[in-house]
C-alpha cells in the first residue's frame, strides 16, 4: 500500500475538453483529498486545485493526460480523478460538500428564500423613530407570543427567552435612537454580536416590522409551492424552521464564517452550530439540515432538483442529479425509514 511517500501516477485520455466547467469539477474533487495532485499535458503542468492553472493547460478531446499525486490519499485521489475524466467530468461525481447538522436524506425542488429588502425611509426625528420602534417591538413580541401558542410545548419553550431578548433590546435601541440613530441602525448595532440565533430571530422580526414588510413572506412563498421542497437560504432563524409546512423536507443554509469561495464551511460557526435553536427544531422534526459555504447557495436556483444527503459527517449535495442518482437516493431513504423505530412526529403547520 502506498504510504504517501511514493507519488502515485496514471495516464488517461481526455474525453471532454478541459474548459471552465470540467476544470471547476476537478478543483472540487481535488480539494477533498489529503494529497497534492498535478496534471500534465502538452508539456504544461497544473495543480489540480488551481482552476486558472488547469485552464491554461488547454486540454482538448483526445489529449493524453498524466496524473500524479503525493500524500496520504494519493492512491484514492488518482482513482477518483481517472474516473472523473473517464466519465467526461460528470457533475454527479463531485457533489457540493457541507457540514451535517441534522442527519437524513431529502429529495425535492429548491425554494430559494431571500429576506425582503425594506424600503428606504427619509431621515426622521428621534421622537418619530421611538414611535416606530415601539410599534415594531409590539409587533415582534406579538409574533413570538402567537408562535408560542401555536407550537407543541417542547418547541414553544425554545422561544420563551426571545421575549426577554426583545425586552432588553428595546431599552438598548431606544438609547441609540435618542442619540440620533435610526431604528434600523440601532437594531443592527445591538444585534451585531450574534451570541444566539434567537438574537438573529429577534433582529429579523424587528427589521421586518420597521420596514413594514410581510413577516410571513416565507410562509406565503412555501404554501404556494407544491411537491416536496428543500429550503435554500442565506440566513436561517428558529422562527423559519418552526413555521415550515410539511412538504419542506430539507434545509440548506449558509453558516457564519463560511467562505464564499471555499469548498466547505466552518463547523465551529457560532450561531449555525449543532445545538442552535434552529437545529434543535429541525432535529425534532427530522428535517435534514446542512450548513454550507455561501457559494453553494449561490449555485442553486429556484426549482432546481436537489438530492441532499446528510447521513455522514460531510454532507453531500447534488444539484440537478441524473435519474440514477435520484433513484438511489429514494432507495436509501426508504431503507433508513424501514430501520428507524417509529416515533410520533412533531406537529407542523400545513
Task: Say if strands 248-254 and 289-292 run parallel, antiparallel, or are unpaired.
Answer: parallel
> How many other CB atoms are found less than 10 A from the CB of residue 3?
8
* Dihedral sign (CA 304, 307, 308, 313): negative
Length of the chain: 350
Low-confidence ranges of the chain (pLDDT < 50): 257-272
> What confidence score (pLDDT) does residue 1 get?
52
| pTM assigned to the model | 0.83
CA atoms within 13 A of residue 274's CA, in its CB half-sphere:
7
- CATH number for the region 8-90 comes to 3.30.1340.10
Residue-wise pLDDT for 27-59, tens only, equals 999 999 999 999 999 889 999 999 999 999 989
Fold adopted by 97-114+216-339: Glucose Oxidase; domain 1 (3.50.30)
Report the pLDDT value the prediction gives residue 271, as an integer from 0 to 100: 41
Catalytic residues: 19
What's the pLDDT at 339?
84
Q: How far is C-alpha 270 from the chain's CA centre?
A: 15
Q: Which pLDDT score, from 0 to 100, does residue 190 have?
A: 95
**Given this model, what pLDDT does residue 70 score?**
94
Residue ranges of domains in the chain? 8-90, 97-114+216-339, 126-210
Ranges of H-type helices in the chain:
20-30, 51-57, 74-86, 126-150, 153-178, 183-190, 197-210, 217-223, 238-242, 277-284, 294-299, 323-339
- Specify the pLDDT at position 156: 96
Amino acid at each position: 500500500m502506498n504510504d504517501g511517500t511514493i507519488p502515485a501516477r496514471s495516464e488517461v485520455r481526455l474525453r471532454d475538453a478541459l474548459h471552465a466547467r470540467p476544470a471547476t469539477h476537478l478543483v472540487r474533487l481535488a480539494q477533498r483529498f489529503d494529497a497534492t495532485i498535478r496534471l500534465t499535458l502538452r508539456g504544461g503542468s497544473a495543480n489540480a486545485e488551481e482552476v486558472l492553472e488547469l485552464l491554461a493547460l488547454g486540454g482538448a478531446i483526445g489529449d493524453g493526460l498524466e496524473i500524479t499525486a503525493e500524500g496520504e490519499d494519493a492512491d484514492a485521489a488518482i482513482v477518483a480523478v481517472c474516473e472523473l475524466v473517464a466519465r467526461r467530468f460528470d457533475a454527479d461525481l463531485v457533489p457540493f460538500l457541507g457540514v451535517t447538522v441534522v442527519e437524513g436524506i431529502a429529495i425535492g425542488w429548491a425554494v430559494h428564500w431571500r429576506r425582503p429588502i425594506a424600503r428606504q425611509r427619509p431621515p426622521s426625528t428621534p421622537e418619530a423613530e421611538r414611535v416606530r420602534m415601539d410599534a415594531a417591538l409590539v409587533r415582534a413580541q406579538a409574533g413570538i407570543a402567537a408562535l408560542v401558542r401555536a407550537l407543541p410545548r417542547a418547541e414553544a419553550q425554545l422561544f420563551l427567552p426571545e421575549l426577554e431578548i426583545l425586552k432588553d433590546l428595546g431599552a438598548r435601541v431606544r438609547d441609540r435612537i435618542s442619540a440620533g440613530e435610526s431604528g434600523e441602525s440601532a437594531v443592527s448595532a445591538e444585534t451585531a454580536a450574534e451570541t444566539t440565533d434567537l438574537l438573529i430571530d429577534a433582529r429579523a422580526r424587528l427589521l421586518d416590522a420597521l420596514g413594514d414588510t410581510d413577516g410571513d413572506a416565507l410562509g406565503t412563498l412555501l404554501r404556494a409551492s407544491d411537491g416536496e421542497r428543500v429550503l435554500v437560504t442565506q440566513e436561517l432563524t428558529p422562527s423559519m424552521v418552526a413555521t415550515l409546512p410539511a412538504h419542506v423536507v430539507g434545509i440548506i443554509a449558509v453558516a457564519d464564517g463560511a467562505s464564499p469561495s471555499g469548498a466547505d464551511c466552518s463547523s465551529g460557526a457560532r450561531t449555525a452550530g449543532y445545538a442552535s435553536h434552529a437545529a434543535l427544531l429541525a432535529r425534532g422534526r427530522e428535517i435534514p439540515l446542512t450548513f454550507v459555504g455561501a457559494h453553494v447557495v449561490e449555485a442553486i436556483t429556484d426549482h432546481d432538483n436537489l438530492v441532499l444527503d446528510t447521513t455522514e459527517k460531510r454532507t453531500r449535495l447534488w444539484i440537478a442529479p441524473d435519474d440514477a442518482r435520484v433513484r438511489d437516493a429514494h432507495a436509501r431513504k426508504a431503507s433508513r425509514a424501514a430501520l428507524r423505530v417509529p416515533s410520533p412526529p412533531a406537529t407542523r403547520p400545513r
